[in-house]
Structure 1
């Protein structure tokens, strides 16, 4: 069976997501015009409206338009949404679940580059690469680095993982080859589960107080806003580093900036609140901060991995098999 399929995502995304191998495979798996990409399903152009009316599957990615009840009414044959990215919360609405649509996500594929970025950040933080690089640029002469960096290094350090999300669990996996102690805080994980992963489950306060690096991987929910606040930051040891590749809202930005400005803590921040800090923000210039523009997730060639994952799911659907990575309504309350 080759189901009728419509691409629905933000402008310019499909061109990056689908390389020639992915487009060829898509043509084998589904009946679709891969040049037709829906950016707006609320007021679609005629060609999009016609494709939506016959589509059985939507292939979505970043910037996908919301699938409201009105949109679904114009898509009477729609049965599945295959999302070639992580969270589906921005476009899969209650109307989709009420309709009984099956939904898949490539969150597992997108977790890999975020976890790899995080691993690099942790190893660099414990090695004190950021302050050493800044000092090197400033001094530009011979210096006793062994003395200045005495106590640095990854051997025997403690890393705290906040949130056993897909990314958090992947980071735990990547840390296994290293001589690191790993603590975990996640209210939905049991101590036994944590032990099976080779980590120790602890309260958030204990994690912050006992970690050389604290890495945030919890979902963005009302309950997790400012999960890392002034109290948690104050508990972190002098010289510790906060890594945030989740969402800026999980960290109290004002409290963090105070700690960073004092020089007591360091930070690797791929996300902030707001997402683009003001032009005069000290975060751009502080020597103990690595600030990146939300690039830890898939980009460049990594987008093709998400596309391949989505096409694997499409192949399962077309052959009558269940998705390998389904998204379920009941799980969205504590996931990204």
Structure 2
């Protein structure tokens, strides 16, 4: 059911998609559609469940939060919620922030593999040769027999390893915040990185942006990577020290494939655009045809739980 400002007693949900698009939504809730535009669909103070629009600019996402005085759930459609965390302290006591763990696994893991293969096999060079009408043959490295280090072994990191399985990698090493055993083998703690980096041919970043991971890939991290290694970032730009990365790229010692950058969007004329050995995509790990059906499933599940007053999935933090 759609909502207006008539003062219905039913809980009100702000959705980033029209409610009629999502089959199976609870009929005990009212729904309003807001995609981040300048005009709100209702008074924000009436919103009980806020499904955050899936936009790259954090400003529209956080703009209505200060006025959402009775909101109980803020549901992101991103795995990372660093853009929403500063607003949590202003939410009503007990309101929860949920991320979209699992939503972007397929799409982001697919892009991580695509960036890795494209960089190793020099697809950008072939495209430039095609544009110039030139037939440039030559030897290129394969992913087969390479050692891959995944930094950030959550659901996306695990999905990346799933997609690496058929490519005959020599080894896949997993790193997360703390050590544990995963289905495919041991997961090492971040503290073990200095000893793991020198053996990796490909380092894939899939970690969330936290105070622990901000600037993690600094000059020391990069210096420990082996000559000719490839850095793939499908996580967040500020995890990498851009100046330190540029120094390694300009020296020709490392290569990089970046779906995210710092700054972002990358402005015209920034040296990363023209750095040797770098492939850049404009933060497109999530937005693909895989996004919408998975987003609809997540929202349907969370709203069903919300309507039944059942525990929600993917709770990151609660307001105090």
C-alpha contact (below 8 Å) 1:246/1:271 kept by paired residues: yes
C-alpha contact (below 8 Å) 1:126/1:212 kept by paired residues: no
TM-score normalised by structure 2 residue count: 0.79
C-alpha contact (below 8 Å) 2:148/2:202 kept by paired residues: yes
Q: Return the alpha-carbon distance in structure 2 between the equivalents of residues 117 and 57 of structure 1.
A: 31
How many residues align? The count is 301
Could you tell me which residue of structure 2 aligns to residue 312 of structure 1?
301
TM-score normalised by structure 1 residue count: 0.76
Q: Does 1:71 align with 2:63?
A: no
Could you tell me which residue of structure 2 aligns to residue 31 of structure 1?
30
Q: Return the alpha-carbon distance in structure 2 between the equivalents of residues 66 and 89 of structure 1.
A: 15
Give the match's secondary structure for 2:79. coil
Q: Name the Cα RMSD after superposition.
A: 3.3
Could you tell me which residue of structure 2 aligns to residue 48 of structure 1?
42
Q: Does 1:189 align with 2:176?
A: no
C-alpha contact (below 8 Å) 2:88/2:318 kept by paired residues: no
C-alpha contact (below 8 Å) 2:215/2:241 kept by paired residues: yes
C-alpha contact (below 8 Å) 1:37/1:48 kept by paired residues: no
* 1:117 CA drift (Å): 0.7
Q: Return the alpha-carbon distance in structure 2 between the equivalents of residues 135 and 114 of structure 1.
A: 28
- Counterpart pick for 2:13 among 6, 18, 33: 6
Could you tell me which residue of structure 2 aligns to residue 141 of structure 1?
135
Q: Return the alpha-carbon distance in structure 1 between the equivalents of residues 309 and 128 of structure 2.
A: 56
Q: Does 1:112 align with 2:106?
A: yes
**1:1-336 superposed matches below 5 A:** 3-7=10-14, 14=16, 17-18=17-18, 21-22=21-22, 25-26=24-25, 28=27, 30-34=29-33, 48-49=42-43, 52-53=45-46, 55-62=47-54, 63-65=60-62, 71-73=67-69, 75=70, 78-91=71-84, 92-96=87-91, 99-131=93-125, 133-134=127-128, 140-141=134-135, 143=137, 145=138, 148-149=139-140, 152-180=141-169, 181-190=171-180, 193-194=181-182, 196-198=183-185, 201=188, 203-286=192-275, 288-299=277-288, 302-329=291-318
* 1:317 CA drift (Å): 1.9
Q: Where does the alignment leave 5 or more consecutive residues of structure 2 unmatched?
A: 1-8, 55-59
